[in-house]
Homo-oligomer: A and B are copies of this chain.
């Protein structure tokens, strides 16, 4: 408990703690008109991620593995540097999970044909199978959501998400996802 403690009903003459007086009013609609969207994004992502999480435990993998498996399957032959740019993590973080996926036989590295310094990443058949298992429940979830929307509304969902992406990243992402 905080050292400044008191009953909830004892009004305005309460002691003032180190952080100032207590605030009893919720963040107003004026302070944060978009709060519902902010929170929807949080809740949607929370549940969206929970589907593949359940699959991953069976393999002893985590979310980091999921991301790598996903993008390697979507872009077979992707360079390590490009994967790092997509995930926005350090090569040390990637290296750890990548090694496990290679050791497990889900991904293989192929020396780049032009530039032999490159290690192009390809899924194995097992890697492809894993990717499909991971994406299946998300397909269902997204598909069911889109089924309820009109064409205009779908466009809205897509545009909204695109505009939330950093301006400097939008073109790259658009190319990546093929839109």
Contacts and interface: CB of A to CB of B under 8 A. Distances in A.
Query: How many copies of this chain sit in the oligomeric assembly?
Result: 2
A128 B23 contact: yes
Contacts of A157: 37, 153, 156-157, 159-161
A139 B33 CA distance: 8
A168 to B, nearest CB: 10
Contact of A34 (B106, B143, B155, B159): B143
A21 B125 contact: yes
A38 interface: yes
Contact of A38 (B4, B20, B138, B173): B138
Given A17-B105, A152-B150, A153-B155, A22 B162 contact: no
A103 to B, nearest CB: 8
Interface of A: 1-2, 4-9, 17-27, 31-48, 50, 67, 73-77, 88, 102, 104-113, 119-120, 122-128, 131-132, 135, 138-139, 141-146, 148-150, 152-166, 169, 173, 176-179
28 contacts: A2-B102, A7-B113, A8-B77, A8-B113, A8-B120, A17-B105, A17-B108, A18-B126, A19-B104, A19-B107, A20-B125, A23-B124, A23-B127, A24-B77, A26-B74, A27-B74, A34-B143, A36-B178, A37-B161, A39-B176, A44-B161, A44-B164, A47-B169, A142-B164, A149-B159, A153-B155, A154-B160, A160-B160
Given A19-B104, A37-B161, A149-B159, 20 more contacts: A4-B108, A5-B110, A6-B111, A8-B112, A8-B113, A17-B105, A19-B125, A20-B125, A23-B125, A27-B73, A27-B135, A34-B139, A40-B165, A41-B48, A43-B169, A45-B45, A47-B164, A50-B166, A141-B164, A156-B160
